[in-house]
Amino acid sequence: MDRRDFLKKAISSTIVAGSTLAFGGSGQFWDTASAAETAPQWDLVAVRGDEPDAMFDSAISAYGGMQAFVSPGNRVVVKPNIGWDVSPERGGNTNPKLVGRIVEHCFDAGAKEVIVFDHTCDNWRQCYLNSGIQQAVENAGGKMVSADSDGYYRKVSIPQGKRLTNASVHQALLDADVFFNVPVLKDHSSSMITASMKNLMGVVWDRWYWHRNDLHQCIADFSSFRKPDLTIVDAYNVMKRNGPRGVSVNDVVNMKAQVLSTDFVAADAAAARLYGADPADVRHIQIAAEMGLGRMDLKNLSINRIKLG
């Protein structure tokens, strides 16, 4: 079955909001009732039960396809988590199958250029290579760019910043017409979880300022700078302990799930539920909701739950 045939099948098999699903340790999210039985535009799409690329095919179709976000000639930035020099099964980085498929969809929608980068923690060349993301992106026609020098960054003001009032942001993001945030969901020793807002630390130069000056407030502050056009949370292999790098595959649960939303606060709230946490206990989610950057009240959102496999 080719990808276009799969999309047709996925559209016909979509399970509308209000479905009750049970799924390894994450029933808090799958059991949450939705605010509507149908919706002209979903607040959030959640899919489970297949490979990362196939799940994205199905989920993006619920939004009407990638053309709902990308127009011919657009410059697109896709920002996965590529922070660690570990292989995909370790769950430290975004799954390469997902990243490659997103790039393919962007070009199918007419994108002029698709750039992928991350300000990594380990050596950036090794992270790009051993995560599998570089090969997946280049096979799809995208371009990997470095983020390891302050020369790639430009200082900007943060509009609603309380602790973080300015930051140096990667030029590729500043020049992009469309921005997709593609974090991996995982445990984090400092912020409880990593998901969409935490993943934005990879587009700035001085991440350590955040850690020294109220990490959760800085995460929420920076989220007011530029909201992603779409957030795609990879919850295929979820690191449940020893994050953010992990120690071994024993830290990982194979959840086979994915969450998409144009509201990154809602995406993080859903990710927290998948992880098994109350979103209100993840302080940057609570702060961002209080700042009016998005919604964390999942029970009042229109959620399209899709089961594959």
In angstroms, rounded to a whole number, what is the distance separating the alpha carbons of residues 277 and 296? Answer: 13
> Which candidate, 39, 99, 112, places its Cα nearest to that of 70?
112
Instruction: Note whether residue 16 is domain-resident.
Output: no
In angstroms, rounded to a whole number, what is the distance separating the alpha carbons of residues 258 and 304? Answer: 12
In angstroms, rounded to a whole number, what is the distance separating the alpha carbons of residues 167 and 164? Answer: 7
Instruction: Note whether residue 18 is domain-resident.
Output: no
Residue 246, pLDDT score? 83
Q: Which domain holds residue 193?
A: 3-10+24-307
What DSSP state is assigned to residue 204? B
> Which candidate, 212, 121, 204, places its Cα nearest to that of 166?
204
Instruction: Note whether residue 37 is domain-resident.
Output: yes
User: The domain that contains 281 carries what CATH number?
Assistant: 3.40.50
Residue 41, pLDDT score? 80
Instruction: Note whether residue 87 is domain-resident.
Output: yes
Instruction: Note whether residue 15 is domain-resident.
Output: no
* CA 297 distance to own-chain centroid: 19
Mean pLDDT per segment of 10 residues, for the chain of length 309 residues? 43 33 46 46 94 97 96 98 96 97 98 98 97 98 97 96 97 98 92 92 94 95 96 96 84 95 97 94 96 95 92
Residue 26, pLDDT score? 53
Instruction: Note whether residue 17 is domain-resident.
Output: no
Instruction: Note whether residue 133 is domain-resident.
Output: yes
Instruction: Note whether residue 136 is domain-resident.
Output: yes
- Exposed, middle or buried by CB within 10 Å (0-12, 13-18, 19+), for 27? middle
Task: Evaluate if pTM is beyond 0.75.
Answer: yes
Number of domains in the chain: 1
